[in-house]
Amino acid sequence: MGYTVAVVGATGAVGAEMLNILAERQFPADKVVALASSRSVGRDVSFGDQTLKVSNLEEFDFSEADIALFSAGGSISAEYGPKAAAAGAVVIDNSSFFRMHEDVPLIVPECNADAVAGYTKRNIIANPNCSTAQLVVALKPLHERAGIKRVVVSTYQSASGAGGSGMDELFNQTKGIFVNDEIEPDTFTKQIAFNVIPHIDVFMDDGSTKEEWKMVAETKKILDPKIKLTATCVRVPTFVGHAEAVNIELEKPLSADEARDLLREAPGLMVVDKREDGGYITPVECVGEYATYVSRVREDPTIDNGLNIWVVSDNLRKGAALNAVQIAEVLINRFLKKAA
Ligand code: A2P
């Protein structure tokens, strides 16, 4: 007997990838339920070779589900996550709502799979922010080997990080610019086509944005509270795939060659680093892939034990849907036992 899995936000950019990845990885589900708002009831969504009819989240009885993957925004998670958990479904939540709650584990399986055990406190597990997920996969092996003191990261985040409406806005603005349409920002705060915007999520009191704060707080929770991190998060006009330029100060010396070898062996990572034209990965090349790619590995001679790397991953996959399904896999393989 397999599991019943509910996907909340099944009509969204991440929800669609959750369905794709459940099918691709042959997650042992007897039944997959696609849930969204009342607006989408009866719509078809793809699940592998099949299509599923979307049902209304408000009317779904979560006692029918073993696992509920949520990606419909923080307010939906806040309202329905605890209800689903109380009804007996283990909630794997992609919103930021529960991430920093002490009694909710925040998981990237390559980094802290054992911490999934903490799900029993609330029946909820949090998925990190997209830009954090790919970063910690790359930092983990370096931290284990040489101890990370400080990280300076600049992100180049695609429009899909703002959901389907972000991708639509980039597409429509790009087309519109060629016919002199007036630019009317909506999902983004300024023109996104042919532009970059140094602002993701709301501003905090100290002048950083919430996206930047998330990278700091979530890296500490997942990897090590001792790691100091400072981030500048920037929205760029790509559709899918986040890139990050990462400067790392280590406790111990680690050459670029050693780092490359280490990263090559680490789970979830692919190193493409040829030091020649095109010998690195760009966002369009990582779309639809599971791996987090590392390129441009080099020493930073301006500090002791300094390293620079370039990290690229599909933000809808490792940054969201893939990580959520990997958590579900850890859960069923190690914690939820279904009678055969
Ligand atoms: P719907 O299409 O019915 O609005 P994205 O992140 O790509 O913008 O997608 C957001 C997802 O969250 C969609 O699947 C959307 O469903 C879902 N969603 C938004 N508001 C609600 C709601 N009130 N109840 C259930 N699902 C919602």
Instruction: Give the model's confidence band at 337: pLDDT under 50 very low, under 70 low, under 90 confident, else very high.
Output: confident
In a domain, 46, yes or no: yes
**49 CA from centroid of ligand 1 (Å):** 23
Decide if 339 is inside a domain.
no
Same-domain status, 297 and 326: no
Domains: count for the chain = 2
In a domain, 340, yes or no: no
Whether residues 111 and 138 share a domain: the answer is: no
Summarised one tens digit per residue, pLDDT across range 185-225 is 999 999 999 999 999 999 999 999 999 999 999 999 999 99
Q: Assess whether 168 and 241 both reside in one domain.
A: yes
Q: What is the CATH number of the domain that holds 83?
A: 3.40.50.720
CB atoms within 10 A of CB 271: 21
Q: Are residues 155 and 207 in the same domain?
A: yes
Rounded Cα–Cα distance for residues 13 and 179 (Å): 28
Query: Is 242 noted as a catalytic residue in this protein?
Result: yes
Q: Which domain holds residue 88?
A: 3-128+320-334
Residues 311 and 189 in one domain: yes
130 is catalytic: yes
Looking at the structure, tell me whether residues 68 and 179 fall in a common domain. Answer: no
- 130-185 pLDDT, tens per residue? 999 999 999 999 999 999 999 999 999 999 999 999 999 999 999 999 999 999 99
Which tokens hold the place of 44? Answer: 């078809």
Q: Domain containing 307 — which CATH number?
A: 3.30.360.10
Question: In which band, very low, low, confident or very high, does the pLDDT at 127 lie, cut at 50, 70 and 90?
Answer: very high
Judge if the beta carbon of residue 36 lies within 6 A of ligand 1. yes
One-letter amino acid for residue 19 of the chain: L
Q: What is the mean pLDDT of the chain?
A: 97
Are 149 and 38 found together in one domain? no
Confidence of residue 339 (pLDDT cuts 50, 70, 90): low
Does ligand 1 come within 6 angstroms of the Cβ of 128? no
Does the C-beta of 9 come closer than 6 Å to ligand 1?
A: yes
- Is residue 326 within 8 A of residue 320, CB to CB? The reply is no
Same domain, 282 and 259: yes
204 falls within a domain? yes
Nearest CA, atom 23, ligand 1: 37
